[in-house]
Amino acid sequence: MGTHVLDDWGGLSLDELLRDCRDLVEDPDYPTVRRWREAGGKVVGHFEVYFPEEIVAAAGLLPVKIHGAPIEARQGDAHFGSNLCSIVKTSLELALSGRLELEMFVSHPICDTARNLAAVWGRNVPYPCEILYLPQNATSRHAATYLRGEYQRLQRGVEEIAGRTVNDDDLRRAIAVYNENRRLLRRLYEIKRETPWLLQVDEAYVLVALGGRIPREEHNLLLSAVIPMLEQRGTAPQDRMRIVFEGGFCEQPPLDLLTTIAQSSYVVDDDLLIGLRWLSEDVATDGDPLANLATAYLDHSSYSPVQHDDRKPKEEMLLRRIRESGAGAAIISAAKMCEPGLDEQVPYVRALEAEGIPYFVNEFEENMTSFDSLQIQLETFIENVLFAGAEV
């Protein structure tokens, strides 16, 4: 389906493009998805963290990443307890309020709340809702075969929604589109690491996030145009601390929080929306495409607190992220009430202390609106590190 869902952006300046991307990402009414539906398209929504969008795209459907929204969960609140993260409530709110219309919803066993989310969602909407059981025993010799079968099961469900079958060539074409997208996203993060003054964390965020709500072919066109403009941006480097932000693998911090951080530091790497960047290498386009996707998920992928993999101890992966990005400090964040994120703060902090790397610990919520206190704390932290070498 060759539908374009973005307004014509030809001729816009970089700043205008970034502004428009930000507006789209912050719009809880998902105008790009609405446009897709108005053209007769169908939509599969998937919750954090990783989802093999290629399988949905191969069927001609639009995969949409659902990661909460800066909205009041008027209906969503009533379906959940009080001691839960915000993202499950606002994500459900998107569906119950009619802002986001879907033909199918998929969640993952990333945490105990997310598994409940699929059940709650399913009790309250008429379309299929299910869990995609991504393997939690990533080092089992049987994980890849199992995951291939699980992807095949997903494919059958997607085919029912699409009203057509998906063959290997459809999958290979989708994988090629996503490989190109992965290449462009890797380039975006290279710019952040190598010349962070050219691309602020909030700007990179909106460029990545937009991919979760438009066809990837269109995202590729956009990134292909934006990246050269970034490379030629005339911003001069400033004397700012290079920092890694960790804690954005599921619920996302408000964009204004990222903007606040950007005012005092260069975020040279992060785990924001890591699911959209989960596969770290291109996926093979020859052979069995579902097996290739399964292998890529297990063996050529990033890390997060909600995937258990003995080969990727999280604190070691964080230290590697810091080293490879040349960062001098880390923000160790977690969404409020996010148990996996809060669990992981303990080994992160211990590893950073052992390595003598300064860190700043905080919690956020997607709906928070006041950042003055954070700004003061962060500036104090940075001053301490720069002038006293102290930890906060």
Using CB under 8 A as the binding rule, whether residue 130 contacts other proteins is answered as yes
* Pick 223 or 338: Cβ nearer other proteins: 338
* Pick 111 or 162: Cβ nearer other proteins: 111
The kind and range of the H/E element at 340 are helix 339-355
Query: Distance between CA atoms of 184 and 178, rounded to whole angstroms?
Result: 10
Using CB under 8 A as the binding rule, whether residue 81 contacts other proteins is answered as yes
Count of residues that interact with other proteins, criterion CB under 8 A:
56
> Of the candidates 74, 186, 323, 350, which one interacts with other proteins according to CB under 8 A?
350
- Structure token pair of residue 39: 């053209």
Shortest distance (Å) from residue 82 CB to other proteins: 7
Query: Distance between CA atoms of 266 and 197, rounded to whole angstroms?
Result: 7
Q: Specify whether the CB–CB gap between 287 and 307 falls below 8 A.
A: no
Q: What angle do CA 106, 107, 109 make, to 5 degrees?
A: 145
Using CB under 8 A as the binding rule, whether residue 299 contacts other proteins is answered as no
Using CB under 8 A as the binding rule, whether residue 116 contacts other proteins is answered as yes
Shortest distance (Å) from residue 114 CB to other proteins: 8
Q: Specify whether the CB–CB gap between 335 and 364 falls below 8 A.
A: yes
DSSP calls for 61-107: -EEEEE---SS--TTGGGGS-SSS-HHHHHHHHHHHTTSS--SEEEE
Using CB under 8 A as the binding rule, whether residue 135 contacts other proteins is answered as yes
Shortest distance (Å) from residue 49 CB to other proteins: 13
Using CB under 8 A as the binding rule, whether residue 124 contacts other proteins is answered as yes
* Pick 138 or 283: Cβ nearer other proteins: 138
> Of the candidates 20, 26, 150, 217, which one interacts with other proteins according to CB under 8 A?
150
Query: Which range touches other proteins (CB under 8 A), out of 47-55, 73-81, 239-247, 263-271?
Result: 73-81
Using CB under 8 A as the binding rule, whether residue 146 contacts other proteins is answered as yes
Q: Specify whether the CB–CB gap between 227 and 191 falls below 8 A.
A: yes
* Pick 143 or 198: Cβ nearer other proteins: 143
Using CB under 8 A as the binding rule, whether residue 127 contacts other proteins is answered as no
Using CB under 8 A as the binding rule, whether residue 120 contacts other proteins is answered as yes
Query: Which range touches other proteins (CB under 8 A), out of 103-111, 180-188, 209-217, 232-240?
Result: 103-111
Residue reference for tokens 């960047």: 277
> Of the candidates 96, 117, 293, 357, which one interacts with other proteins according to CB under 8 A?
117
DSSP calls for 179-227: HHHHHHHHHHHHHHHH-GGGS-HHHHHHHHHHGGGS-HHHHHHHHHHHH
> Of the candidates 13, 82, 369, 370, which one interacts with other proteins according to CB under 8 A?
82
Query: Which range touches other proteins (CB under 8 A), out of 10-18, 32-40, 130-138, 381-389?
Result: 130-138
Cis-peptide into 49, omega within 30 deg:
yes
Q: Which of 223, 252, 336, 339 is nearest to 47 (CA)?
A: 252
CA distances from 13 to 9, 20, 195, 237, 276 (A): 9, 11, 20, 21, 26
Query: Distance between CA atoms of 175 and 284, rounded to whole angstroms?
Result: 8
Using CB under 8 A as the binding rule, whether residue 291 contacts other proteins is answered as no
Site residues (CB under 8 A) for other proteins? 78-84, 88, 109-113, 115-120, 122-124, 128-133, 135-137, 140-143, 145-146, 149-150, 153, 305-306, 308, 334, 336-337, 339-340, 342-347, 349-350
